[in-house]
Amino acid sequence: MTRIIRIIVALLMIISPKLPNLLSLPAVPSGQDLKLEDRFELKWSDEFDGNTLDKSKWTYEWWVTERKGGFWHEDLVKVRDGNLVITTAYMSEPLENRYLEKWGDSINFKPYKSGWYSGCISTINIFEQCYGYFECRAILPKSTGMWSAFWMMNNQVENVDGSGKDGTEVDIFESMYYKDVWWGAGDAIVSGIHYDGYGEGHKGDSIGKWFANNPYEEFNTYGLEWNENEYIFYINGIETGRLSTGGVSQNPEYLLLSCEVAGENGVANADRHGTGKMNMKPGDTAEFIVDYVRVYQYK
């Protein structure tokens, strides 16, 4: 079924590249070839070798509390067989909060409870870069009601000034469409941007949904080329779309890898941005498996 849908989408794109999005169908990557080795040189990377997370490259402390319909906790983040593995699982008893003394007085801090747990790591205060090419190679988690993401942030995203030039959340990919597998469009991801904070002033844009190659079973690469003029998104080295809405961020940004559960107040089972409701039950798990993260600079 997926192959038939992809053929239909490819034919629609011949008629008009905009037709798949107008019909809420994922599109097939068909833009420029990245030409990675010709245009870029490696600046920073993590191949996730060994059996522990490299603390000289990553931190857990971007968010250590309730997160939408679940909770983020470092125990759900492991390095295994040369991969980073972020697991989403139900915990009938709250896990230990190792950052209570440090972050417990924060206005955003909420204590751990029973519920769905997952994880997040970031390079905040460790590594940031302005412009270049940013890529991860990953297998996406097999569950509705939650999603994985490879994204970028800086602290100026919260500035409400009508512009994304000082800082933009760039979602290189989010895996929100596992639920659509029944009609053949579930092998898709979405990419987009957010700026001017997350309240009334929030603004954003998206390039829509794009097919990857069996992404819940096989490794695919997801990349972003960022220059002073635009963001260019890629799947497996082929361009999917471009954005420059609100002005392109001109400041260094840090990287994040995460899984989030749809819902609010630590309670799951909501449909957020097309995820569908949680189909896992206590005892089930879903894994976000990352082979590597690599950051390049222009030659």
SS (H, E, C) 161-217: CCCCCCCCEEEEEECCCHHHHHHCCCCEEEEEEEECCCCCCCEEEEEEEEECCCCCC
- Classified by CATH at the fold level, domain 31-298 comes out as Jelly Rolls (2.60.120)
Q: Cβ(97)–Cβ(64) under 8 Å?
A: yes
- What integer pLDDT is reported at residue 100 of this predicted model? 87
Q: For residue 114, give the nearest of 269, 266, 281 by alpha carbon.
A: 266
Domain positions in the chain are: 31-298
Residue 150 structure tokens: 């490879």
pLDDT above 70: residue 35: yes
* Bigger pLDDT: 72 vs 107: 72
The model's pLDDT over 220-276, given as tens digits with 9 standing for 90+, comes to: 999 999 999 999 999 999 999 999 999 999 999 999 999 999 999 999 988 888 888
**Lowest-confidence pick of 35-49, 105-119, 284-298:** 105-119
Whats the size of the chain, residue-wise? 299
pTM: 0.92
* Residue 103 banded pLDDT, cuts 50, 70, 90: confident
